[in-house]
Amino acid sequence: MDKFVVHKSSLKGEFVVSGAKNASLPIMAATLLTDDECILHNIPDVSDVRTMVRILENLGKVVQWTPGTMRIRSRRLRNYVAPYRLVRTMRASFCVLGPLLAKRKKAKVSLPGGCVIGSRPVDLHLKGLSQLGAELIVENGYCVGSAAGLAGTHIFLGGHFGSSVLGTANVLMAATLAAGETLIEYSACEPEIVDLGVFLKKMGADITGEGTPLIRVNGKRQLHGAEHTVISDRIEAGTLIAASLATRSALTIKNIYPLHITSVLECARRMGAVLRLKRNSLSIKPPRRLHPVNITTLPFPGFPTDLQAQFMVALCLADGVSLITEKIFPDRFMHVAELQRMGARISRSGPYAIIEGTRSMYGAEVMASDLRASAALVIAGMVAHGDTEILRIYHLDRGYGRLEEKLKPLGAKIKREKQ
């Protein structure tokens, strides 16, 4: 197991954002909808992608991955089981369920189990797929299903916390091969769903409305192979914006889609940053003193929950009191206790965190609890006086490809060591 040792750093220069993990995973799952070859570009080299490769290989796909390009072909083996040993390490594996039911008519996919960021049920996935005609039962920790013939219908996919990103992905993928028309109402509008829609259309699917709360799908008898370049990672971009604010470092962030991060840019502006956007590049100049702001996480185009922890670090150093309200995963606050150990002044009550800005934080030995919390601790380490040791950095590697190697040329003092 690796750990990071981080020293106070100030950053300068250009950072190029990688492909989006959360777009890549469902798109890789979508290749199960065809036996033809699919070619994907810009897939990030992160451990969650490697997990999805293992799941696809287990399901009979042959995956060739050279830097930049992934080719996915089919073998004769047509397994339909995604086992617990793979699924438990990554919840996104559950989005093979829809494509398996639609294409192979059978699926046995482990339920993902508990998650450190809070309760993450899959009831909406199951509801949508059942309404399409799949027969699903949950037994011995697995969702076991069959689908003699899926048929399009009108599905309301809203839940207690609004739309579901991977729930929408699962139902959308299954609907592409269902007979007739499917309407998915209260579908997630995230850019990753739009990118999945674009890929499915390249495979021959008939979809309209992706990126809106009402997606319409006209089912096809079969889909074919396709080639696609995955969008860039808005969460990696946002993480760099938070790092720039917290460390008060002027940066240029390249390979971004500004429309994917409008709420984040708005937040950075309210914190006092001066932003210059030029096509797919952002120059950010943080203020000397950060303004406190209130942030509420919401489904897209609202402020993403996946950037809550990173922005919390910047707010720890603002001139005043900020309030964060977590509306997607109300328990996603594991990083609070670790930041408190580094001198942050945060009090938490239910889905609220009140952050009282302080002038400085100090290094400590801290524990990464999940992917985005790890990124927050890296940022905290770069602003803290003294050494910060971040244990269990494998969480970070799930979604950021060798982040330390991308940050070092900017001046970050980060070392990866054996724990």
Residue 131 has phi, psi (to 5 degrees) of -65, -25
Alpha-carbon separation of residue 82 from 90, 111, 127, 156, 395 (angstroms)? 12, 10, 20, 27, 22
Is 280:310 a contact under the CB 8 Å cutoff?
Answer: no
Nearer to ligand EPZ, 74 or 308 (CB): 308
Among residues 38, 95, 115, 143, the one annotated as catalytic is 115
Minimum CB separation of residue 328 from ligand EPZ in Å reads 5
- DSSP labels, 65-126: EETTEEEEEE-S----EE-HHHHTT-GGGGGGHHHHHHHHSEEEEE-----TTS----HHHH
Nearer to ligand EPZ, 11 or 171 (CB): 171
Minimum CB separation of residue 142 from ligand EPZ in Å reads 16
Using CA atoms, how far apart are residues 178 and 153, in angstroms rounded to an integer? 9
Residue 209 has phi, psi (to 5 degrees) of 90, 5
Nearer to ligand EPZ, 233 or 389 (CB): 233
Minimum CB separation of residue 95 from ligand EPZ in Å reads 8
**What's the half-sphere exposure (Cβ side, CA atoms, 13 Å) at 320?**
9
- DSSP labels, 232-270: B-HHHHHHHHHHHHHHT--EEEES--GGGSHHHHHHHHH
Nearer to ligand EPZ, 188 or 198 (CB): 188
143 catalytic? Reply is no
Minimum CB separation of residue 42 from ligand EPZ in Å reads 16
Is 136:128 a contact under the CB 8 Å cutoff?
Answer: no
**Upstream peptide bond of 301 is cis (omega within 30 degrees of 0):** yes
Look-up of token digits 């508990």: 114
Alpha-carbon separation of residue 247 from 227, 266, 318, 331 (angstroms)? 39, 19, 11, 27
Using CA atoms, how far apart are residues 361 and 46, in angstroms rounded to an integer? 30
Nearer to ligand EPZ, 306 or 389 (CB): 306
Minimum CB separation of residue 119 from ligand EPZ in Å reads 6
Using CB under 6 A, list all residues that contact ligand EPZ. Answer: 22, 25, 91-92, 119-125, 159-161, 164-167, 188, 192, 305-306, 328-329, 371-372, 399
Nearer to ligand EPZ, 326 or 404 (CB): 326
Minimum CB separation of residue 117 from ligand EPZ in Å reads 6
Q: Which residues are catalytic?
A: 115
